[in-house]
């Protein structure tokens, strides 16, 4: 299960999507998230699906790799589906014990499940196609205008990127600790959900110790390289908007406008 989590991972490539300016990809991702919450019918999801299929095919990321990232979040999707299925009142289709299944419940549950799936897949494409360094530079450039009011743009961008990058590292460390404890007789798979959750408690102490150790090593490595924040920092690769960036932004804006028009007109 831990290996299936793709959040924070980068899938190397040399495609058009990988070469897009990180600022454009971040803005597109935000517009994509906002657009999903404007959708109130099933038909606009077809446009969203077409957009995601186009991005995945152009980025040449295997579909299995994308779907693998949904596996750890499948329980959340199922719980959301069931809650909307049984808690929505309307015309009863059939009954499951004391619970009623309505037509409105089926529609709302399916609608929310699709929204979650598209939200997870769409946002994961940002980290899968953007290296941590590019992501840091993109966030910092977008936050630069807020420096005038005292916002530490570089430090915020660095912290966000390091936190995102540490997710797969900590998951890998948790898997190693889990295997080591299983070799000593620990059981993480038997029993109900509550027992499984309790069995994971012994993982927390060594995992926190490992996280603090890695953070200390990272701080020492940055100090050894004379890192002093973003002041007077230069970059080998400057972020320059190209034609492909404007085309990608235009496609996203067209999708956004279509969703808005379908919602209000």
**Residues β-bridged to residue 102:** 92
pLDDT (0 to 100) of residue 177: 82
Q: What are phi and psi of 102, to 5 degrees?
A: -110, 165
pLDDT (0 to 100) of residue 230: 62
What does the DSSP 8-state code read for residue 96?
A: E
**Cα 130 to Cα 23, 133, 155, 196, distances in angstroms:** 10, 8, 19, 35
Q: Residue 53: which pLDDT band, with cuts at 50, 70 and 90?
A: very high
What is the crossing angle of helices 132-143 and 22-38, to 10°?
80
Contact yes or no for 45/114 (Cβ under 8 A): yes
pLDDT (0 to 100) of residue 9: 77
Least confident of 22-26, 53-57, 103-107, 142-146: 142-146
Instruction: Kindly tell me if the per-residue pLDDT of 33 is higher than 70.
Output: yes
Mean pLDDT of the chain: 84
- pTM for the whole thing? 0.79
CA–CA–CA angle 30, 35, 41 (5° rounding): 155
Could you report the per-residue pLDDT of 202-233, keeping only the tens digit for each? 778 888 888 888 888 888 988 888 777 666 66
Q: What are phi and psi of 121, to 5 degrees?
A: -65, -45
Instruction: Kindly tell me if the per-residue pLDDT of 246 is higher than 90.
Output: yes
pLDDT (0 to 100) of residue 5: 62
Q: What is the CA radius of gyration of the chain?
A: 22
pLDDT (0 to 100) of residue 3: 54
Contact yes or no for 153/23 (Cβ under 8 A): no
pLDDT (0 to 100) of residue 115: 94
Distance in angstroms (rounded) separating the CA atoms of residues 100 and 93: 8
Instruction: Kindly tell me if the per-residue pLDDT of 76 is higher than 60.
Output: yes
Distance in angstroms (rounded) separating the CA atoms of residues 201 and 191: 15
* Terminal-to-terminal C-alpha distance of the chain: 44
Contact yes or no for 130/22 (Cβ under 8 A): yes
Instruction: Kindly tell me if the per-residue pLDDT of 1 is higher than 60.
Output: no
Q: Residue 80: which pLDDT band, with cuts at 50, 70 and 90?
A: very high
Distance in angstroms (rounded) separating the CA atoms of residues 107 and 85: 8
pLDDT (0 to 100) of residue 8: 63
Tokens of 59: 């980025």
Among 31-35, 100-104, 122-126, top mean pLDDT goes to 31-35
Tokens of 217: 């090593």
Higher pLDDT, 239 or 115: 115
Could you report the per-residue pLDDT of 148-173, keeping only the tens digit for each? 888 787 778 878 777 777 777 787 78
pLDDT (0 to 100) of residue 235: 67
Distance in angstroms (rounded) separating the CA atoms of residues 81 and 211: 35
Least confident of 80-94, 222-236, 248-262: 222-236
């Amino acid at each position: 299960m831990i290996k299936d989590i793709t959040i924070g991972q980068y899938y190397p490539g040399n495609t058009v999507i990988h070469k897009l300016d990180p600022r454009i990809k971040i803005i597109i991702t935000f517009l994509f998230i906002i657009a999903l919450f404007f959708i109130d019918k099933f038909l606009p999801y077809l446009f969203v699906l077409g957009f995601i299929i186009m991005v995945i095919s152009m980025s040449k990321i295997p579909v299995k790799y994308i779907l693998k990232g949904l596996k750890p979040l499948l329980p959340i999707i199922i719980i959301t589906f069931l809650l909307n299925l049984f808690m929505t009142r309307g015309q009863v289709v059939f009954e499951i014990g004391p619970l009623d299944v309505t037509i409105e419940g089926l529609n709302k549950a399916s609608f929310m499940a699709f929204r979650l799936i598209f939200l997870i897949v769409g946002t994961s494409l940002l980290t899968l196609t953007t290296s941590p360094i590019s992501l840091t530079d993109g966030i910092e450039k977008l936050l630069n205008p807020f420096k005038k009011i005292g916002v530490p743009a570089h430090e915020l961008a660095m912290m966000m990127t390091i936190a995102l990058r540490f997710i797969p590292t900590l998951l890998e460390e948790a898997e190693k600790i889990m295997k080591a404890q299983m070799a000593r007789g620990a059981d993480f798979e038997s029993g109900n959900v509550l027992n499984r959750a309790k069995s994971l408690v012994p993982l927390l102490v060594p995992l926190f110790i490992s996280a603090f150790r890695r953070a200390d090593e990272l701080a020492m490595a940055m100090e050894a390289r004379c890192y002093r924040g973003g002041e007077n920092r230069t970059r080998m690769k400057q972020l320059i908007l190209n034609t492909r960036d404007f085309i990608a932004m235009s496609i996203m804006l067209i999708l956004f406008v279509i969703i808005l028009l379908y919602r209000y007109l």
